[in-house]
Structures are given as C-alpha cells and as structure tokens.
C-alpha cells in the first residue's frame, strides 16, 4: 500500500511537470485532465500583440523624450531657428485640426440633408462648428489662392510666419497666440463702444412716440457711460424700441450700422443696404445659437467653449475667471431668450450694453480712444 502511494505521488509530480502533452493522460488507476492541473501552476502568458504594444509604447516614449531634448537644445542655442521650427510644427498640427473640422462639417451637412434638418434645429456644438468653419474658410481663401502657383508655397510659409494673425485661422495659432490675438481683437472692438453709446443717445432723442421709453433708454446709456453694469431687466424694458425706426434692424443710420459691424469683426466698407443685410443675418444666427445653447445648458460647456462663447458675444473672456464667464453668459441668455426675431437689433446692442463695463469699467481715456 505504501509502495503504491509513493508511485502515485511520483506520477502526479511527473504529470504536473510534463503538462505539455495531450489533453488527457491515463496511466493505470490515474486519469487527469491537464487543463485542470494547469490551473495549479502559476505562469504568465504573453501574446504577440501585447509584446508589440509594449514595444510601441516604449519607442513612442523615447521619441517624445528625444524630441523634447531636441527642442530644448534649439531653444537655447538657436532661438530664431526654434521660432521658425515651432511655427512649422504648429502649421502641421493646424492642418490636422483643419482636416478634422472638414470631416465634422461634412458629417453635419450629410445629416442635415438626410434628416431634413435646418440650421436652427442643430445642437449647439454642431451649430457653432458650422458658424466658425464658415468664417475660417472665408479668411483662409485668399491664402489658398496665393499658394496655387508653382513654388508659391514657400512664399506662403514666410507670410504665415510673419503675419499669423492676419492670414491664419485659429487652428494654426499657438495657445499663447490665441490669448494675445483675442485680446488685441477685443481692444479694437472696444474702441467703438463709446461711439455706439453716443449713437444710441442720439436715436433716443428721436423717439417722440413714447417719452417714457425714451427716458429709460437715455438712462440706460448714461448708466453704461458712467461705468455701471445694467441688469437684464433694465435692458428688456426698452426692447420695443428696437423693433422699428430708428433702432430696428435695417432701420438704423448707416454710420451706426458701421460701428456695430466693427463689433462683429465685419467690414464696414460696404453700401448701407448690404451692411444691414449682413447685420440682420449675423443677428439671427446669434439668436439661434443662444436658443441652442439654452437648450443644451451653459453648465454643459467646457472651459474653452465657455470662453469662446463669451468672446463671440462681446467680452474678453481670457481676462476673467470661469465663474465670471458663467455669470456673464447667464445674463446674456436671460436677455436673448426673451427676444423675438423682430427685436434682434437689441441683441447686437448688448455687445456694448452688457460688455462695456464687465466686470470693471475701463478708464475714461480708453473709452474715448
């Protein structure tokens, strides 16, 4: 009995060590399934795909390390060449982002055609994507035309390097350039806050039909000129004055429309009837964006989306905190959600009424400049 037990134990040890045979081994009174025995042996199984992924991650990390060392060397020893090299890298990344936008816009257009959707029926992010892509395409069109002749791409690269703000769309800007250029654009826009308020006061003097609303509009202009921030209720109290002459859309004076065009970064050097048509189109588009944003909920926006939404509506969001941006955007939507399409002129004037003094009023010298 002892001998048979010792033989059985030896056979068990041999089976555990030699577990690469057939699925089932039968010898005498013992029958064992190798799959059940193999669970008792601790081992690690490596597949070829896992090995390839591990090698890929290692190679990628080493390349990133080498690239960071190379860029640091260029920045220390050859700063001017580093700026040119960095511009080239940003251009390549910008083209990648631009091509991704092209794919997204094509997908949105196909969805609109297949589902019979209109622009105002789209979700906010898709609506904003179409709006920004259309503006970027208009800005990039001259540069694309210049690059068509042979060897002209070298000239285009030089122009892109020296004039990034004027020639490049935001896809090709570095993060620091985005902050710098938005601040510069806002400073240009702020120059026309004061003339636009003066134009509103002048228009209020010609509101002879309703003296009560005329007084409220003049008080509103005076409050903004003194550096205070009006409430949404104070702005909505004069909304009926912006549906007819002299402040209704396409009823305003040409000089007044030119000032508003500069707030929207539109060219003011067009005939009056074309300026009125463009302003009306942009005002309705902005109203539809606001309605889509209200459906989505401003709290759903990421921080970059929130800052971009505030910048489009008139403030320099890069100088504000996230909570300040959310507070200001909620005030804007409070006004916008109460307006009809016939009152969109008031929405354009909110680019000054709600934005000129938020969060702190600029100096009098800057206003008059």
| pLDDT tens track for 275-292 | 999 999 999 999 999 999
CA-to-CA distance for 313 and 325, rounded, in angstroms? 11
Contacts of residue 319, Cβ cutoff 8 Å, sequence gap at least 6: 183
342 located within any domain = yes
The pair phi, psi for residue 300, each rounded to 5°, is -80, -10
Same domain, residue pair 226 and 339? yes
Residue closest to 167 by CA, chosen among 179, 180, 181, 149: 181
238 located within any domain = yes
- The pLDDT assigned to 180 comes to 93
Total length of the chain: 369
Domain holding 337, by residue range, is: 190-368
| Residue pair 126/292 in contact by the 8 Å Cβ criterion | no
Contacts of residue 236, Cβ cutoff 8 Å, sequence gap at least 6: 335, 338
Between 21 and 187, name the one with better pLDDT: 187
184 located within any domain = no
Kindly indicate the confidence band of residue 364, based on its pLDDT and cuts at 50, 70 and 90. very low
272-296 vs 322-336: helix axis angle to the nearest 10? 110
CA-to-CA distance for 187 and 243, rounded, in angstroms? 30
Residue 114 has a CB neighbour count (10 Å cut-off) of 8
Is pLDDT above 80 for 126? Answer: yes
Rounded to the nearest integer, the mean pLDDT of the chain is: 79
| Residue pair 125/295 in contact by the 8 Å Cβ criterion | no
Same domain, residue pair 298 and 232? yes
As to burial, measured by CB atoms within 10 angstroms (0-12 exposed, 13-18 middle, 19+ buried), residue 277 is middle
CA separation, residue 320 to residues 87, 228, 328, 360 (Å): 28, 17, 10, 11
Last residue of a domain, one of 137, 170, 203: 170
Residue 43 has a CB neighbour count (10 Å cut-off) of 5
Name the DSSP letter for residue 361: P
Total tally of structural domains belonging to the chain: 3
pLDDT digits (tens, 9 = 90+) for 208-238: 567 788 889 999 999 999 999 999 999 999 9
Is pLDDT above 80 for 33? Answer: no
Same domain, residue pair 162 and 226? no
72 located within any domain = no
271 located within any domain = yes
CA-to-CA distance for 92 and 171, rounded, in angstroms? 10
């Amino acid at each position: 009995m002892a001998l048979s037990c010792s033989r059985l134990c030896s056979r068990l040890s041999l089976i555990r060590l030699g577990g690469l045979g057939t699925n089932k081994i039968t010898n005498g009174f013992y029958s064992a399934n190798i799959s059940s025995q193999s669970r008792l042996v601790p081992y690690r199984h490596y597949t070829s795909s896992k090995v390839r992924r591990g090698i890929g991650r290692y190679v990628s990390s080493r390349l990133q390390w080498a690239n960071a060392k190379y860029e640091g060397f260029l920045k220390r020893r050859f700063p001017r060449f580093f700026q040119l090299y960095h511009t080239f890298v940003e251009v390549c990344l910008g083209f990648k982002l631009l091509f991704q936008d092209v794919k997204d816009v094509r997908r949105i257009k196909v969805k609109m055609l297949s589902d019979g959707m209109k622009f105002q029926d789209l979700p906010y992010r898709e609506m904003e994507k179409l709006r920004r892509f259309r503006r970027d395409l208009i800005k990039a069109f001259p540069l694309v035309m210049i690059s068509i002749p042979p060897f002209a791409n070298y000239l285009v690269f030089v122009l892109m390097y020296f004039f990034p703000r004027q020639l490049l769309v935001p896809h090709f800007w570095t993060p620091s350039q985005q902050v710098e250029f938005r601040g510069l654009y806002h400073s240009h826009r702020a120059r026309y806050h004061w003339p636009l308020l003066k134009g509103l006061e002048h228009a209020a003097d010609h509101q002879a039909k309703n003296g009560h609303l005329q007084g409220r509009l003049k008080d509103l202009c005076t409050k903004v000129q003194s550096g205070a921030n009006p409430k949404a209720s104070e702005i909505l109290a004069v909304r009926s004055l912006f549906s007819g002459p002299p402040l209704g859309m396409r009823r305003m004076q040409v000089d007044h429309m030119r000032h508003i065009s500069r707030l929207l970064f539109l060219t003011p050097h067009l005939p009056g009837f074309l300026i009125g048509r463009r302003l009306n189109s942009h005002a309705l588009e902005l109203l539809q964006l606001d309605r889509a944003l209200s459906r989505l909920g401003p709290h759903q926006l990421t921080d970059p989306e929130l800052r971009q939404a505030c910048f489009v509506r008139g403030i320099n969001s890069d100088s504000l905190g996230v909570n300040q941006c959310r507070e200001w955007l909620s005030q804007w939507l409070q006004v916008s959600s109460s307006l009809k399409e016939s009152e969109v002129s008031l929405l354009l004037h909110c680019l000054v009424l709600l934005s000129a003094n938020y969060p702190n009023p600029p100096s009098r010298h800057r206003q008059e400049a």
